[in-house]
Amino acid sequence: MKILFDHGTPAPLRRHLAEHSVDRSAERGWELLENGELIRKAEDDGYQVIVTTDQNMRYQQNLTDGRLGIVVLMATAWPRVQHRTKEIRAAIEEVRPGQVREVPI
């Protein structure tokens, strides 16, 4: 699966998703894009899931007709996130295009 990490997503999480193709928005030069433009670019480039820590993304964008699933991490600190990698992996596998899954941390 092709996954994009938004700028707030802890980079070490990538190591726990080795079977997926994971890019960070900064690696693509997209770290300054607003959410709507980031979603459009990600869809155009074939990403299937965005992992973000932006808890407001679902309220700022109409995602129902989108081609991406959005996984929202409810914390940004890696020391906390690293204890929820199993739940994050499950959310990534379960989310469907146009859906949002929140992972409590």
| Tens place of pLDDT per residue across the chain (105 aa) | 999 999 999 999 999 999 999 999 999 999 899 888 999 999 999 999 999 999 887 776 666 778 999 999 999 999 999 999 999 999 999 999 999 999 998
In this prediction, residue 2 carries a pLDDT of: 98
Backbone angles phi, psi at 82, to 5 degrees: -60, -20
In this prediction, residue 102 carries a pLDDT of: 95
What's the rounded Cα separation, in Å, for the pair 96 and 3? 13
Q: Based on the structure, what is the number of domains in the chain? A: 1
CB atoms within 10 A of CB 102: 13
In this prediction, residue 62 carries a pLDDT of: 66
In this prediction, residue 36 carries a pLDDT of: 87
Range of the domain at 25: 2-103
What's the rounded Cα separation, in Å, for the pair 39 and 29? 14
